[in-house]
Structure 1
Amino acid sequence: MPQRVFDRVHGFFVLLTERPVSLYAAAVLRIGYGLLYLAFLLREFPHRDEMWGPGSPWTPALARQMLDQSGWVSVLTLSDSRVYFEVCYAVALVTCALFLLGWRTRAVSVLFAVVVVSFHAKAIFMADGGDNLMVLMAVYLVFTACGRRWSLDARRTRLQASAGRTAGPRGGLRHQLGDARNILTTVLHNCGMFVIAAQVCFLYGCAGLYKVQGPSWGNGTALHYVLNIDLFRPWPGLSQMVDGHHLLIAVVGYLTVLVQVAFPFVLFGRLKYPVLIVLLGMHVNIAVLMGLPLFSGAMIVADAVFLPDRFYRSLGRLWRRTVQRTGVTGAGASPGAEPALVPAQPGPAG
């Protein structure tokens, strides 16, 4: 019995320190949140001054007072200059694009977290709930190796390896420092992915338990009231049509509560796949019927952390077959060569 326990502890320690898990899921999180926030900033570009700039009703002075009370920080409050704000906005757009592409991801992930936190803190009352989750995920992704797959960093590593540009023999101390860096990077990545998964489980579990306490969710009428809130009805005709199916509304309400409460308990079995499909449909409906695309997108991307790497590798193989079938190959690559979409990359550099 003690030997079995020791073997399990040793196996867990080896997994934690030697093998980074869910590298493809981390890449999907990077791409998803980078794309979402880039689209968000581009969509609000005509209204940037009213939301975050010097012309906002929520003035920089009011923002600084709020930050003193809430403990948030924002680089947008460092100056009231319009030129400074425009420069910050341009830097934010470039940062989101570079984070999405995975260029120098270690450094850019820190800049991306600063951008998301700064814009959220500057206009904390102009949110739909999606940016709250995005703030947390942006901070968590700083600790992960989210640039190891499907990124420009991955492509650069593959090209260096194919060109034979590998590091030469290293001395004893330098070799030990390199090994220590690899272990630290792996541990931080694995812990970061675990915290992301735990955050999503906590979010769904709390949302489900909160709904259970409400009488409107218990009697199946909650979604009726949701569909009749004018503030969240971008398509009134569509909302009225859906609201007319009373039995459907009740069934979807009960299913929503059941799926959210059960979500943390089905993650280690195949039942999680139909649950994730139900959640995907739920978030798509929220985006369309309630007009909350940022919130729905943030939740859909977060759910991607629970899909295994073999799922994403199968997507990569499917993409390669599609590319080869259409006759499109990478520059300088033969049709039978391994494309750079899913490169194999040794080392923890992100």
Structure 2
Amino acid sequence: MSRRLFHRVGALAAALTERPVSLYAAAVLRIGYGLLYLAFLLREFPHRDEIWGPGSAWTPELAKELFDQTEWVSVLTLSDSRAYFEVCYAAAVVTSVLFTLGWRTRAVSVLFAAVVASFHARAIFMTDGGDNLILLMAVYLVLTACGRRWSLDARRTRRRVSEGRAPKRSTGLAKSGLLSQLRYARTTLVTVLHNCGMFVIAAQVCILYGSAGLYKVQGSSWGSGAALHYVLNLDLFRPWPALSLMADGHTTLITVVGYLTVLLQVAFPFVLFGRLKYPVLTLLLGMHLGIAVFMGLPLFSGAMIIADAAFLPDRFYQFLGQLWRRTPQPMEAVVARSPREGTVTVPSQPGPVAVPSTR
């Protein structure tokens, strides 16, 4: 019994320290949250002064007073100057772009987390819940190696490898073996932090779904199946009243959807290690799209959809990448036709590249 336990602990330690997991999923999280926060900043650009700037009803003095109780911090409260605020806003947009592209991801991920935390703390009462999850994920992604795939950093690394360039080594350190040991220790530390970060992200999403489902179970409106009826008639969460009234007219359908929502959220943490997670993730995608459309909460829905992407394996994203590379480009679809399809290829000359056969 003790030997079996020892082997299991050893296998777990090896899996934690030897190979980083879900590198493509981490890249999807980086790209998704970077683009989502960039879209959020651009959408609120006309209202930036009323939400976060010196003209906000929630003044910097009130924010600082709240910070004394919550111990939050924000770079936006360091000055009341409008020019300073505009520089901070522009820096936030640039940081979101660089984080999405994966440029110097280790440093930029820290800046992105600081940006999200600063804007969240500056106007903490003017949120819809989506930025809470974005803030958590931005902090967790600092621990991960989210720039290893689909990033400018990965592209730069591939170029160095293809060109045969290697970092300069110190002769004395190389002879003593200290340099190799330091590199091994750094690699192990990065791997452990990445794997722990991805585990925390997965645990956070499971806790979110599980607690939401259990909270709904306690309510009588969800138990009776009438919860969505009340949701569709709330003026605060009804961007298109006509659409909400049309959906509310299908009583049986919204009752089934309400029960299915509770079932999916409660069952989510228990289906992650089997094939059942794929239909569950698909249904959750539809649920979040419905929340975005019917309740007018696109930021929250987008944050949840991106978080769900962390549970898809790397082979799924690799398959998507291969499918994208195999997809012919528009010009290739025109000129790269086989003669068997009834096309006669002519030498390069002005005019059409291929002439359809008349036979």
Question: 2:183 aligned with 1:185, yes or no?
Answer: no
Say whether residues 1:279 and 2:289 are aligned partners. no
Other structure's SS at 2:327 match:
helix
Could you report, residue by residue, the CA deviation over 1:163-191 in whole angstroms, capped at 9, with x for unpaired residues?
00123663411211111110000000000
Give the structure 2 partner of residue 148 of structure 1.
Answer: 148
Per-residue CA deviation, residues 124-164 of structure 1 (Å, 9 max, x unaligned), is 01101000001100000000000000000000000000000
Q: Within 2, Cα distance between the matches of 1:65 and 1:183?
A: 43
Matched, 1:305 2:310: yes
Instruction: Give the Å deviation of 1:7.
Output: 2.3
Q: Following TM superposition, by how much is the alpha carbon of 1:325 offset from its aligned partner in structure 2, in angstroms?
A: 7.6
Larger Rg over CA atoms = 2
Deviation at 1:9, TM superposition (A): 1.6
* Structure 2, unpaired ranges of 5+: 334-359
Tell me which residue corresponds to 1:225. Answer: 230
Q: Which residue of 1 aligns with 2:325?
A: 320
In the alignment, the residues of structure 2 paired with residue 32 and residue 326 of structure 1 have an alpha-carbon distance, to the nearest angstrom, of 29
Match of 1:334 in 2: none
Secondary structure of the corresponding residue to residue 257 of structure 2: helix
By how many angstroms is 1:72 displaced? 1.1
TM-score by structure 2 length? 0.89
One-letter amino acid of the structure 1 residue matched with residue 185 of structure 2 = A
Structure 1 stretches of at least 4 aligned residues deviating more than 6 Å after TM superposition: none
TM-score, normalised with respect to structure 1: 0.92
Question: 2:347: which partner in 1?
Answer: none
Deviation sequence 1:230-289 (CA, Å, 0-9, x none) = 011111100000000000010000000000000001111111111101100000000001
Which segment is superposed worse, 120-129 or 317-326?
317-326
In 2, Cα distance between equivalents of 1:175 and 1:278: 48
Q: How much does 1:74 deviate?
A: 0.6
**In 1, Cα distance between equivalents of 2:332 and 2:12:** 45
Whole-angstrom distance in 2 between the partners of 1:326 and 1:210? 54
| Runs of at least 5 residues in structure 1 that lack an aligned partner in the other structure | 329-350
Q: What is the CA RMSD across the aligned residues, in angstroms?
A: 1.2
Offset of 1:4 from its aligned partner?
2.8
How far apart are the structure 2 equivalents of 1:105 and 1:167?
19
Equivalent-residue separation in structure 1 for 2:158 and 2:248 (angstroms): 53
Structure 1 position 324, deviation (Å): 5.7
SS where residue 39 of structure 1 aligns?
Answer: helix
Equivalent residue pairs, number: 328
Cα distance in 1 for residues equivalent to 2:331 and 2:21: 33
| C-alpha distance in structure 1 between counterparts of 2:90 and 2:254, whole Å | 44
1:263 to 243, 261, 268: 268
Matched, 1:68 2:68: yes
